[in-house]
Homo-oligomer: A and B are copies of this chain.
Amino acid sequence: MAPPTREQCLELDRHDPLASRREAFRLPEGLIYLDGNSLGALTVGAERSVARAVGAQWGVDLIRSWNVHGWIDYPATLGERVGRLIGAAPGETLVCDSTSVDLFKLAAAASLARGARTQIVTEAGNFPTDLHILQGLAKLLPQVEVLAVPRERIYEAIGTDTFLVVLTHVHYRTAEMFDLAEVSARAHAKGARVLWDLSHSVGAVPVDLRGAEADFAIGCTYKYLNGGPGAPAFLYVRRELQDGLMPVLSGWLGDARPFEFQDDYVPAPGVDRHRCGTPPVLAFAALDGALEAFDGVDMAQLRRKSVQLSSLFIELVEALPGAGALSLASPRDPARRGSHVSFAHADGYPLMQRLIARGVVGDFRAPDLLRFGFTPLYLRFVDVWDAVRILGEELAARPDDRPRDTPRLKVT
């Protein structure tokens, strides 16, 4: 069957129940932004919320804003709103610090409770910060060993020495997705806990942490949640485990009575004990506004559109005359794929630069991956069609057609 025409894509957009969500975003005219899996786009809500936090709150109410504008409660209130998107119960999620710091916090706390167990199991090729942070913890605790194994050997690596399994739900390169419930069951069968990095899932893929009996989770909010560059991360601790999990980064705002200024740390009840220092309010304000774009969104509907967009992209790309130079690096089965798609191309870096120069923004991951993210809240089916048309033209172009000025994209 012939791939959809541009007119058919426009027709899909006319019937897209999420189409109006695009109005919540400030997208530059003429740009097709397929990098929301790296940095989500600016929303009208975030822009308004930050301006208010700066001018009307900090500028006018100054120190009083901590209370009258709810700054001090931001980690908890935003935590609840993120928690609803990942299947958390109330009181299980906190927005704070960076993904790296939150991983350290939970992995260190878990190692306090490890008993005689010594191993953390993770995936080789996991996102670098996950591996690096675990390596740092093991440097501090010489009894702890980090075992990074290929995906197909993870189950056999989980043993009676394992106290923690740390995996990323959707892989940053391939978008390959783990089965949360199955991994939890396998780990629990060996007496190990599971910590999920949801950075490439949250806001794009339905996640049901409680349903999957996940123990811990972390993730970033600057990708599909559009929280802004370097927006604060979140952490999740299953309620049943909260009392037994003592923070190692025991900062004053995780104390039970921070404003009594006592010398001895007493952990706050529940997940709040994992707060640490004073939160960067302006970054929280951006996330606060950005999350408005998710108000009332049905995550199953969001997922349907995500799969439609990424499947359409694969179908159109593979129908291009020059498609032989590309090979799909993501799972073809949408049930095993997150919300981005990667294709390998021998000359991928300059090819991506040419796409960007023509207004199709994806990114490149060495050595050879072109990565394209599909954000259901602001992407249209016709955007996918237009992006693939431009990709086709660039695949067919001669090398000396390449643009000269190629800014290097860096951050995932």
Interface residues of A (CB under 8 A from B): 26, 28, 31, 33, 35, 38-39, 41-42, 46-47, 50-51, 53-55, 58-60, 62-68, 71-72, 97-101, 104, 108, 111-112, 124-129, 131-133, 135-137, 139-141, 148, 220, 222, 228-233, 246-255, 258-265, 276-284, 286, 356, 361, 363, 365-366, 407-412
Contacts and interface: CB of A to CB of B under 8 A. Distances in A.
A75 B286 CA distance: 20
Counting every copy of the chain, the complex holds 2
B277 A233 contact: yes
Contacts of A133: 249-251
B258 A128 contact: yes
A140 B355 CA distance: 49
B230 A278 contact: yes
Given A125-B263, A264-B135, A366-B260, A46 B54 contact: yes
B409 A129 contact: no
Contact of A98 (B39, B60, B278): B278
Given A97-B277, A129-B251, 10 more contacts: A39-B58, A39-B66, A42-B62, A50-B282, A54-B228, A129-B252, A136-B249, A228-B282, A230-B279, A233-B277
Contacts of A264: 131, 135
B72 A255 contact: no
A32 to B, nearest CB: 11
A332 B334 CA distance: 71
Contacts of A71: 229-230
A104 to B, nearest CB: 5
